């Protein structure tokens, strides 16, 4: 049976000075972890679990089987890896604080704003400008709805939908992400001014996608979705959703690298809401710090999703701002670098207040009074 290891940050502190330096800075972010779980599984079952602080990590590693020691050391190193900024066209996106990705859907059937910006390009342009003015670091343009039950979109229709939006966003000087799983759409968008690919199928849907991304040199977001065909929400069931999504994303990253995509250009997304129950989504959100052990920047897309309605008396999609902010803050507290949201101004404000709190926490007032 196969042994696997998972190095999972459990508890957070205001800063290293609060615990005599015995804390880990997560992925170059403003978040510091104190207690770390070292979980050994065998055949999918947990057989050993130690909870230690960074100071005791070497001793804990000495108790691990030799077969997983290299994995453990790699994950431990990855947890503190500082990520270089993303260079998206003329825009530089630093990853030492949470950055906001604004959503621009040009689809007839998106669950949140279907048809609103497709049928009225002037309104789409105004919305894009408002998101940039509010502080969005980049805009994510999508021409296909990936909500459960949505019909597949023909590539030609998708290209026709997204190109005007890419054009007007590029003319504003925006950093642009293209949300697609089709190689032809990626090529068209990248040629028109997009500089990042956000693929909800993790380059599995179209056999040419990995080749296109590798040749372009563009960064790519690889998202977890259990479905392998048209239905990305096809859920086989999970034994341990957190560890299984972790392993899946590791394999997706390795496939992308084998296809010629540089490791420094890969971003990972646990795929909240894609083929996952409410309990699955909550487990992943609570375990987000673990995914830094994969050594890549992380993206969280939970804005206005179905789980918010499930937790709030079935509030409709247009009344999920509070829940969206709560989930964005969960991502910030986990050190997530990119937050994909509909409500940019409100999320930027929440981020700025959160950052103020984190900055202030690095000053240990109790010591100043000694």
For residues 325 and 347, the answer to whether their CB atoms sit within 8 Å is: yes
Measured CA to CA in angstroms, residue 130 lies from 125, 197, 238, 345 at distances of 9, 22, 40, 8
Using the CB atoms, write b or e for 78-116: b if 16+ within 10 Å. bbeeebeebebeeeebebebbbbbbbbbbbeebbbbbeb
* Residue 253 designated active-site: no
Which residue is catalytic, options 253, 305, 351, 358?
Answer: 305
Query: Helix, strand, or coil here: 137?
Result: coil
For residues 342 and 101, the answer to whether their CB atoms sit within 8 Å is: no
Secondary structure of 264-289 in the HEC alphabet? HHEEEECCCCCCCCHHHHHHHHHCHH
Q: What gap in Å lies between CA 281 and CA 283, rounded to an integer?
A: 5
Using CB atoms within 10 Å of the CB of residue 327, give its burial: 0 to 12 exposed, 13 to 18 middle, 19+ buried: buried
* Residue 171 designated active-site: no
Tokens of 275: 């083929």
How many CB atoms sit inside 10 A of residue 315's CB?
A: 16
How many CB atoms sit inside 10 A of residue 367's CB?
A: 9
Tokens of 250: 């590791």
Which residue is catalytic, options 34, 304, 340, 351?
Answer: 340
The residues that are catalytic are 305, 340
């Amino acid at each position: 049976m196969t042994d696997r290891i998972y190095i999972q940050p459990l508890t957070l502190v205001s800063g290293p000075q609060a615990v005599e330096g015995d804390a880990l800075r997560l992925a170059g972010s403003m978040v510091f972890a104190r207690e770390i779980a070292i979980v050994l599984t065998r055949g999918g079952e947990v057989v050993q679990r130690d909870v230690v602080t960074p100071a005791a990590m070497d001793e804990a590693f000495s108790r691990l089987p030799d077969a997983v020691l290299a994995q453990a050391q790699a994950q431990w190193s990855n947890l503190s890896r500082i990520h270089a900024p993303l260079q998206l066209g003329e825009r530089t996106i630093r990853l030492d604080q949470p950055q906001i990705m604004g959503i621009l859907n040009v689809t007839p059937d998106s669950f949140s704003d279907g048809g609103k910006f497709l049928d009225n390009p002037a309104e789409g342009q105004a919305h894009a400008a408002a998101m940039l003015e509010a502080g969005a670091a980049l805009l994510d343009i999508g021409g296909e709805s990936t909500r459960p039950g949505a019909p597949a979109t023909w590539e030609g229709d998708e290209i026709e939908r997204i190109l005007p939006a890419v054009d007007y966003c590029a003319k504003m000087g925006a950093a642009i992400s293209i949300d697609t799983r089709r190689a032809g759409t990626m090529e068209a968008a990248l040629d028109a001014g997009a500089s990042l690919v956000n693929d909800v199928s993790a380059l599995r849907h179209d056999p040419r996608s990995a080749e296109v991304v590798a040749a372009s040199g563009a960064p790519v977001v690889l998202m977890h979705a259990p479905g392998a065909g048209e239905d990305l929400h096809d859920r086989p069931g999970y034994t341990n959703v957190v560890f299984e999504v972790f392993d899946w994303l590791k394999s997706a990253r390795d496939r992308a690298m084998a296809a010629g995509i540089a490791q420094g250009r890969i971003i990972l997304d646990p795929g909240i809401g894609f083929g996952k129950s409410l309990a699955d989504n909550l487990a992943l959100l609570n375990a987000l710090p673990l995914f830094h052990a994969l050594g890549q920047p992380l993206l969280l897309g939970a804005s206005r999703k179905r789980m918010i309605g499930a937790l709030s008396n079935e509030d409709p999609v247009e009344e999920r701002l509070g829940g969206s902010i709560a989930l964005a803050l969960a991502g910030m507290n986990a050190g997530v670098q990119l937050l994909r949201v509909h409500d940019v101004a409100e999320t930027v404000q929440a981020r700025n207040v959160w950052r103020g709190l984190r900055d202030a926490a690095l000053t240990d007032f109790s010591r100043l009074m000694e």
